[in-house]
Amino acid sequence: MDRPRFEDIRSYDEFIKYYWYLEELQAICKALHLEYVGGKAELNNVIKSYFDGVIIPHKPKAAIKSNIETLTLETRLIDCGFTFGQRFRDFYIQVTGDKNFKFTADMVATVKAVKEKQDSGFTLGDLLDIKLGKKAYKKFDNSSCQWNRFLKDFCADEINDIYPNKLKAASKFWAILRSSDLPKVYSREFIESHKNEINSL
């Protein structure tokens, strides 16, 4: 089954049967004059609201400039113009002593939520506690990682050892699955029922 055009979809329940890339969601939202900034989960919520009759317009966000030169664990995230750049990575390296310090997906989701809520009480120390698992604020929505999971499961299944280029084969199967209304998860049954189709692609 081919995926219909967005214009032909009449409900959110129908919409979520199909896989949409982030760029496609952004284009849909822009065309409808909706908020188009955010990850897949956020834009899916914007589109759900649209189908529910609620319009969430795009709001340009002004850049926050900060005069704070010295960072501490008590520094409020909103006040310091936090980004995931080198300045803040260096700060956490200094605080933790971990030269390989990396930001996590939950930290990214948390910062986004803190900025959206304008939570002025949230500090750089709180963000470190998110990484260390001492606090929870906003969890990363990994529903947008369907292709990565499909590819991993495809490569792990020995029945697919017949394909010399597993990435290329997986992408062909994924293209079929993505356009269908089937759940976007790997299964042997799906591979077996579509292997003749990919040979002709």
Looking at residue 53, what is its pLDDT? Answer: 92
Query: Which of 90, 84, 73, 129 lies closest to 108, judged by CA?
Result: 84
- Which residues make beta-bridge pairs with 123? 76
Q: What residue type is assigned to position 6 of the chain?
A: F
Looking at residue 76, what is its pLDDT? Answer: 94
Looking at residue 144, what is its pLDDT? Answer: 64
Cα-Cα-Cα-Cα dihedral of 146, 52, 115, 88, to 10°? Answer: 10
Looking at residue 74, what is its pLDDT? Answer: 95
Task: Say if CB 72 and CB 80 are below 8 A apart.
Answer: no
Looking at residue 140, what is its pLDDT? Answer: 78
Residues 146-185, buried b or exposed e (16+ Cβ, 10 A)? bbeebbebbbeeeebeebeeeeebbbbbbebbbebeeebe
User: What's the chain's length in residues?
Assistant: 201
Residues of the chain with pLDDT under 70: 1, 61-67, 142-144, 200-201
Looking at residue 128, what is its pLDDT? Answer: 95
